[in-house]
Amino acid sequence: MRKFSSIFLLSCFCLYFFGYIVYFFAYQYRLTREWEENIWEESYDNSLTEMMEIPLSLPYMANQDDFQTTNLSMEVDGQFLRVVKQRYQNDTLQVVYIKDQQKQKLNEQVSDWIRSITDNAHNNNQNHKLLFAKFFPKDFIANEISNFEIWSSKLDSTNINTSQTDYRDIFLSLKTPPPQFG
């Protein structure tokens, strides 16, 4: 009975975890198919379209008079956009796009789910900077910190002015001799 209950609980956890991943990819695929149908049939609302001009210099690229239908997805400043038409005119790529609200909601749902799993509801930039400052020295420059602590304790014992300590030689141990040419 114990074995069955542990397998059942593990399968529930896997269904919960992998269910969101399957949901994300399946819904993203469905959104892509819906946009593809709407764009190629031109059944989208033209009042929602906006135009963006991107300076782009391409050699030997001819100016285009008419917009070409296209289906591209891009993210600009945290907003998801669906490009429906584009043309190249006078070293400028002009794109007509619609804001993709459904993809925005999907990504917000997934980020909320990830936040609930990691138990980090108060994930702000300040905590991230503090964690980086805390773990970076430990992982990458731990030897140098111990050398600095030894060196600073020697300075305190000799009572040297801090302006003179800036020019004092620091000896680093080399494990290999320098290469010799000749």
Distance CA 80, CA 121 (A): 24
Between 144 and 69, residue with greater pLDDT: 69
pLDDT in the model for residue 142: 47
Q: What is the pTM of this model?
A: 0.56
Q: 148: closest CA among 167, 132, 171? A: 171
- The top-scoring range by mean pLDDT among 19-23, 132-136, 169-173 is 19-23
pLDDT band at 139 (very low <50, low <70, confident <90, very high): very low
Segment 147-175 mean pLDDT: 54
Between 149 and 119, residue with greater pLDDT: 119
pLDDT above 90 for 61: no
What token pair was written down for 147?
A: 């050398």
pLDDT in the model for residue 29: 92
pLDDT band at 42 (very low <50, low <70, confident <90, very high): confident
Beta bridge partners of 97: 50, 83
For residues 88 and 61, the answer to whether their CB atoms sit within 8 Å is: yes
Distance CA 93, CA 87 (A): 6
CB atoms within 10 A of CB 55: 8
